[in-house]
Amino acid sequence: MLKELPDVSSLESLYKMYKNQIYTLCVRLTGSKTHADDLFGDTWIKVAEKMNNIKKEKNPMNWIYTVCLNIYRKSAPKWKEIDVSDDFFNDDNTTEIFGKDSNTEELIIEKETMMQLQKAVSKLNDKYRIPIILFYFRSFSYKEIAEIMKLPMSTVKFRLNYAKELLKKEMEVSL
């Protein structure tokens, strides 16, 4: 059975389908809502300009992620000092992340651990940080990450393993 591809004929339909995933990626890449807003806007402007480059047989989300990552790589030097925003873990999305049945003490510990992990991820070099974000926070497969980043799958696997080791060391020091 063939998987039905989404309608990619209009910018509006793409935006409705992928705006949340792209914005989340922007927040994770930049660590700042201000920079994420800029990156998000720039991404959709570029998508609008290059709509005719979307191949009907390919996954449009992967193409949009690639556009977003390319813009991020060009813009990141402007944002050298990235502070991980604590407002990412505000009360509105705490329940979504940890569930409604968590008790207060567990919730505080989990929230603190997640903030430390987010800070550790933000300290990674982009070549390690981007695969971590795509794999663990966006649930992309090795193959999809390789396509998005235009890398061999073996390189993606290596970078993920190395990044996990770096994060493990950083978390051990933090805790």
H helices present in the chain, as ranges:
11-30, 33-49, 60-75, 91-98, 104-123, 126-132, 142-149, 153-174
Q: What is the mean pLDDT of each run of 10 residues along the chain (175 residues)?
A: 52 89 89 88 92 75 90 77 44 46 71 83 90 90 92 95 92 75
Residue 152 pLDDT? 95
Residues 112 and 89: their CA atoms lie apart, in Å, by 9
DSSP 135: I
- At 80 the pLDDT is 53
Query: How far apart are the two ends of the chain, measured CA to CA in Å?
Result: 48
**Which phi and psi (to 5°) does residue 103 adopt?**
-85, 165
Distance between CA atoms of residues 160 and 147, nearest Å: 15
